[in-house]
Every structure is written in structure tokens, then in C-alpha cells.
Structure 1
Amino acid sequence: MARAILIVLDSVGCGGAQDAHLYGDTGSDTLGHIAQACFEGRGDRPGLRIGPLALPNLVRLGLAHAYEASTGRPLAGAVKPAAPGGRAGYGVEISQGKDTPSGHWEIAGCPVPFKWGYFTALENSFPPDLVAGIIREGALPGILGNRHASGTAIIDDLAEEHIRTGKPICYTSVDSVLQIAAHEEHFGLERLYALCRKVRVLVDPLRIGRVIARPFVGTAETGFTRTGNRKDFAIPPPDETILDRLPARGRTVITVGKIGDIFAHRSTGDEIKPFGNAAMFDAALAAWERLPDGGFCFVNLVDFDTEYGHRRDVPGYAAALEAFDAMLPRLEAALRPGDLAVITADHGNDPTWPGTDHTREHVPILAFGPGIAPAPLGRRESFADIAATLGDWLGVGKVGPGKAW
């Protein structure tokens, strides 16, 4: 019986969507701008990486074909083979937004049918009654931040005051999100989680997609660093996903990374959450080895987004892509006849773009496995085509409104 693994390269978009102008993202292109910067020497960082973007395995599987289909332009520095080694194309998001839940839910077969709520004011972002509720429910002396901000920057700015006063750092972005940062030792990790659970209830009427706990450690002398104990408190998808369908048919599901958080831990099976792309890839391969016939492994590799996209770090992003590419042959070697591997993304986060937020983009779709004939996938009119394909492949029927390839 067939198995499938789906890997989401968080934020690795491949060219601005047709409606990018509605989001202020006309011209954004995560993959293309990174490749161009590296080709021109702007992606160099001695000791980390030098030269054109080198993704031989992804390009062999069809990444350059997917990129050119999406943008009409060649991927800078890539030597595109005559034909892709797998099935290659790109996906168009039909959900409104450029956020993690929208992208992942649509990939899983559930496009978002409503408009998210947002905190649009750059300063004093949260309504006074919400602030009062956070303080009351958390028995807090107050909150800090209350604005749009980069997570790393606002922690650097306010961590000392947070430690001194006991007030958590609350901030948001253009996404439908409320983030709460607190020191693991001075504030307490479990206390932070408990606060986020209470805030989750407070923002439900506002249709806010996620409340995110952002724990950090450190001192003023050593600097402050976010830890791997991040936890997302999301609303559940409003309809069935491939994750719901599979356990209902007796199939095994293993999720790696923040998939459990994104889907509100509904039907997310055996959840594994190591820290860092390399550790998550290793965990996914270990899970894959024990995955029974008919099983599904769903993986999110978040470092591209959190460590490099939001921080507008082109060399770091490029190095992370190259590191993933170097790991890919291990996955290919672990595939058995009948297995399907799919690599995609959930949105963009162009590190050359102004600001620090996601960008509204197409996403690459690469599908491969032993005996799977290479073919162009072209333009897929919804990310939900992935779930439709997985449902057919795994023999549980089509899931969602997408079209299987």
C-alpha cells in the first residue's frame, strides 16, 4: 500500500501572485530574488556560503521548471535540465491572506472561506478591552509592546523591562496573529503557555488565526535568544482536511515541526517537534522508516521563515536552502516503490522585500518517487490540489475542492 510524505519549506515562495498588489507585494519573489542576489555576489557571507545558489537536487527534480512556469523567467544561476526529474509546477493560493494557517490548511484540502481578523494599527495595536482582558485573565501588572514589530527586535528592546516588571511582551504583524514573548526562567514557560491559552479564547471573536508563545532566554550581558519552545495556539480548520480523513480510515499520521500547532492538534497523530531544520529532517526520516503502509508524514521546516525570511537575511536563507538540498538524497534513498514525496511551500517571505512580513506568492510543487513518471504540473489553481492528489494516492478518496494531478 502506498505511503506519502509532504514537506513544506516554510515561506519558500516562487514569484508574486497575481493578486499580490492587494497585499502590497507586487514584484516579491522569495526564491528568485535570493537566487539573483547570490548570482550577483550579494548572497555571500564568508564562512557561511559563497557564489551562485547551488540547489542541484531540487533543480534536478524540477525546481527551475516550476520557477520558470510561475514567473516566466529562468532561475538565476540554475542549469535547468531538459526535463524535470519529477512532477513539477506551482500552486496559486485561493485563501485570503499570506499566513501560515491559510497556506497549510489549503494544502491539506481546506481553503479558508472567511476573512481573518487583523490588528492593523502599527502602534497601540490591540483594542483597549482586549488589553484589559489579557491583564485580567493573566493576573498581570500590565503588558509591554502593543505594536507591530519584528519578534527578535522587540525582545531586544524590551526584554530587560520585561524581566524587571514581569509584564509580557505582546506584539503583532500584518498576519492574523497575537504574539506573546516572555523569559522562560523569569516569567516561566508553563505560565506563558497558560496565558496564551486564555488569550486564545479572548481573540476568538476577532477571528485571529494564531496566538503564539515566544519564549526566550538570556541576559542583558549575553544577549537574548528565542528558544525552540515556541507554541502556536490556532483555531482549528473549519472543514475536513487530509489529516482528518486518514485516521478515520485507519491510517497512521505522523507530523513533524509545527504542524500540530497549525491544525490545533486535530488529527495530527504522532507529533514530533525538534528544533531546527536539520533536526526536523532527521526526525522526519526516522518517522518515515517506521511509517506503515498507507501512512502519511506531514513536515514543516520553519527555519527558512523564522530565522532568515523575517530577519531579511539573504545569505542565511540561501545557506538554509542549500543545506536542505544536500539532505534530499537521503529522502530519495528511503522511498520505496509506491511511495510519494511532495515538496511545496505555504507562502513567501522575500528577504529582499521591505519590512519583515510574509509576501503573497505562488509556491513550487515538486512530486517524486520510485516509478513516478516525470511530467510538468503547470499552474495548479489551488494549493488544495495537493490534498486531492494525496487522497487519491493513499486510496482514501479526494479531499477538498482541489484537482488531483
Structure 2
Amino acid sequence: MPRAIVCLLDSVGIGGAPDAADYGDAGSNTVGHIAEWAAAGKADREGLRSGPLNVPNMDAMGLGAAIKLSTGTLPPNLSATPKGGRFGVGREVSKGKDTPSGHWEIAGVPVPFEWGYFPQSEPTFPPDLIAEFIRRAELPGILGDKHASGTTVIAELGTQSIHSGKPICYTSIDSVFQIAAHETHFGLERLYDICKIAFELTEPLNIGRVIARPFVGETPDTFRRTGNRRDFAIAPPEPTLLDRNAGAGNQVYAIGKISDIYAGSGVTHKLKGTGIPQLFDKTLDVMEMAADRAFIMTNFVDFDSEYGHRRDVPGYAAALELFDARLPELIAKLRHDDLLILTADHGNDPTWPGTDHTREQVPILVFSPALPPGEIGIRSSFADIGESIAAWLGLPPGRHGKSFL
């Protein structure tokens, strides 16, 4: 009996979105620009990696061919001729370039509304919202109150936060309210509790997520975010593929931050993990135990959070190569009628100005021992991914998207 596995390579975009100019992202191309950077032999951090981008397994599934289809240009050291599986390009119809929109649309539910956003001015949050947040959370105040990169703002304000007991509140161009605090000095459960309060206050503004960003360390040089991040998210407006499969009595495994993104809806088994190796291990473990018609979805967040937002080109290249090197392990565990899809939710070009996501098309790389190879073209919605999985698992068609199988 069939099963489906989705590896969501967070932010691994492949350029070419027709409306990218509306977001200031015309010409962005996450994987393409990383490949060009690597082939040019530019300065790299000592000992991290060297040479052209080396992702032969994803390339065999059609990564290079998908980028050429998306942009018209084949990046260095990638091939236009896949060796197996089906390849294509996903084009998002939801507005914005945020995490929930991309994930929900992949699961068959394009976002039908505009998200709320905070202005670029400082202070950035509405004063009455912050005053009520401080009152209800019983805080001495907050720090930040601006647009910022998470790692940068923690290095800047982490020491003050520890000494004052004030959490660091910041946002980005995405529809998000982020709260950073020290895991031990402030307390992890207390951080989650104040995030719940913030979520109640920001939900009427249509802010998509409140994110708890715990960190450890005692000095700016040693501060680091931990794997205990938690997203408090608005629920999708209608049943997603996760809900539909769970409703049919089947298992839905959410690995990484997947459950948070869907507000837990439709999830029967939730597994957390930190870093690409651990998330990969958990995916392999789940494949050993998942029953017939199970749906497994893993978000590999490091591409986005550790390398895209930080504009770390060599780190991003090394992460792609790490994932690619382990891909044969996953393929070897596939049953004859398992379906594997590699895709992404948006771009985050590390060569691009700023620190935000980029509006890009995404790869759709599809493999099953039972599936003949071929091209699936440029799909008019990410929802085609969800509908293809639904068809594979024997679920009735949904309202959005069309299967490419």
C-alpha cells in the first residue's frame, strides 16, 4: 500500500517567479546563485567546503533541469538531463513569501487573504499592543521593538535581556512577531507562556505566527539559538492534505516545525529535531514504522534559518551538499510504492540584499520505484503537490490544484 514522504527544503528556491519584481526580488535565484558562487571559487571559510556545488543525487532527480526550466539558465556543475524520477517547477499563487503560505499551499490550501505586517519604522509594534502584552505577561518591559535578524539582535541585546528580565521582541518583512529570551535565565516554559499571550494579541491583526526563539550562552560571543523554537500559528482556513489524510484514518507524521506551521491540525505524530542530520535521522526512523497510506512531512529549516537569513553562501552550499550526501539513504528505504517529493516553500537567496525571504519558484523533484520518469512542467500552484500526494494515497480530490501523476 502506498505512502508519501515530503522533504521540505526550507527556502531552497530556484528563481524565476513571474511576480518577483513586486517583492523587490526580480533576479533572485537561491540555488542558481549558490552554484555560480561555488563555481567561481570565491573565498570560503577555512575547512568548510571547496569547489563547484556538488549535489549529484538531487541533480539526478532533476534539480538542474528544474532550475533551467524555471529560469532558462543551467547553473554550473548541474545537469539538464535527470537520471530518474519526475521533475518540475512550483509557482505560488498565495500572496507574500512567508512560511505558512508556502506550506499551506503545498498541502492543497492556497492562502486566500493578505497577511498583516508590521511597519519598518522604530518602534515597529503598536504601543497599545505592547502595553497590553507587558501587562498580561507581567513583564518589566521589552527590548528590540524593531525589524531585525534573529542572531544579530540576540548578540546585540542578549546580555541586557538577561540582566533586565525583558524579552527581545522583533519582526521581519514576514507576518511574524518573534520573542527571544534566555532558556535558563528567563525560562523556556515562561517564554512559551508569554508567546501564547502575544499570539492572542496579534491574531486580530492577522499576524501569521508568534515564534519563541530561546537562546543559551552567557556572552554575545557564545549566544546561540537552540532547537526549542516553537511557532504559534494561525490555523489554515480549510482542511489541508494533513487533515484529509488523518480524517481518512491514516497516519500523518510531522517532523521538525511542520506541526507548528499547521497549528497541529491533521497531525497524528509530532517529532521535533535540530539540524539537518537529526531531522534526516528522524525521517528515516519514521519510514521504518509508518503504516500504509501514511504521510510523512519533514521541514529542513536550517537552509533558511542558519544560512539564508544570515546570507551565508558557503554555509548554504555546504548544507545542500550534506543533505544530498544522505539522500541515497532515504531512497534505499523506499518501498516499491512509496512516493518521495523534494520541494521548498519560498526562496532565501544568500547572495541577495537584506536578510529576508525571496519570492521564487521552487523545485518539485519526484521519485518512486513505481513511477516512470518525465517532466511535469511549471505548475500553476504549489497545491498541485498536495493533490498529487492525495491521488497517490487514494484520497478524494480537493478544491485546489491538479495532480501531476
User: Smaller-chain TM-score range?
Assistant: over 0.9
Alpha-carbon distance in structure 2 between the residues aligned to 1:11 and 1:324 = 14
- Give the residue type in structure 1 aligned to 2:369: P
Alpha-carbon distance in structure 2 between the residues aligned to 1:373 and 1:122 = 53
CA 1:342–1:400: 2 relative to 1, 3 Å = farther
Consecutive unaligned residues of structure 1, counting only runs of 5 or more, are: none
Which residue is equivalent to 1:214?
Answer: 213
Query: Aligned to 1:214, what secondary structure does the other structure show?
Result: strand
Mapping of 1:6-405 within 5 angstroms? 6-42=6-42, 44-81=44-81, 83-220=82-219, 223-405=222-404
Q: Deviations over 1:2-26 (max 9, x none)?
A: 1110110000000041111111111
Q: Deviations over 1:101-132 (max 9, x none)?
A: 00000000010000000002242110011111
CA 1:205–1:127: 2 relative to 1, 3 Å = same
Alpha-carbon distance in structure 1 between the residues aligned to 2:18 and 2:63 = 20
Query: Aligned to 1:18, what secondary structure does the other structure show?
Result: coil
Consecutive unaligned residues of structure 2, counting only runs of 5 or more, are: none
Query: Aligned to 1:223, what secondary structure does the other structure show?
Result: coil
**Contact 1:44–1:51 (CA under 8 A) maintained in structure 2:** no
- Give the residue type in structure 2 aligned to 1:398: P
Give 1:84 shift: 4.4
Give 1:399 shift: 2.7
| TM-score (normalised: structure 1) | 0.98
**Contact 1:84–1:375 (CA under 8 A) maintained in structure 2:** no
Alpha-carbon distance in structure 2 between the residues aligned to 1:371 and 1:221 = 52
Alpha-carbon distance in structure 2 between the residues aligned to 1:389 and 1:278 = 28
Q: CA RMSD in A?
A: 1.0
Alpha-carbon distance in structure 1 between the residues aligned to 2:354 and 2:120 = 15
Alpha-carbon distance in structure 2 between the residues aligned to 1:244 and 1:103 = 17
Give 1:222 shift: 5.2
Give 1:80 shift: 3.4
Query: Aligned to 1:254, what secondary structure does the other structure show?
Result: strand
**Contact 2:161–2:181 (CA under 8 A) maintained in structure 1:** yes
Alpha-carbon distance in structure 1 between the residues aligned to 2:148 and 2:299 = 24
Query: Aligned to 1:219, what secondary structure does the other structure show?
Result: coil
Give 1:79 shift: 3.5
Which residue is equivalent to 1:3?
Answer: 3
**Contact 1:180–1:211 (CA under 8 A) maintained in structure 2:** yes
**Contact 2:182–2:188 (CA under 8 A) maintained in structure 1:** yes
Alpha-carbon distance in structure 2 between the residues aligned to 1:205 and 1:119 = 13
Alpha-carbon distance in structure 2 between the residues aligned to 1:357 and 1:376 = 31
**Contact 1:149–1:173 (CA under 8 A) maintained in structure 2:** yes
- Give the residue type in structure 2 aligned to 1:12: V
Q: Deviations over 1:220-269 (max 9, x none)?
A: 27521111100000000001100000111111111110001000111111
Q: Deviations over 1:348-367 (max 9, x none)?
A: 00000011000000000000
Alpha-carbon distance in structure 2 between the residues aligned to 1:41 and 1:122 = 39
Query: Aligned to 1:316, what secondary structure does the other structure show?
Result: helix
**Contact 1:3–1:339 (CA under 8 A) maintained in structure 2:** yes
- The percent identity for this pair of structures is 58
Query: Aligned to 1:370, what secondary structure does the other structure show?
Result: coil
Give 1:45 shift: 3.1
Query: Aligned to 2:117, what secondary structure does the other structure show?
Result: coil
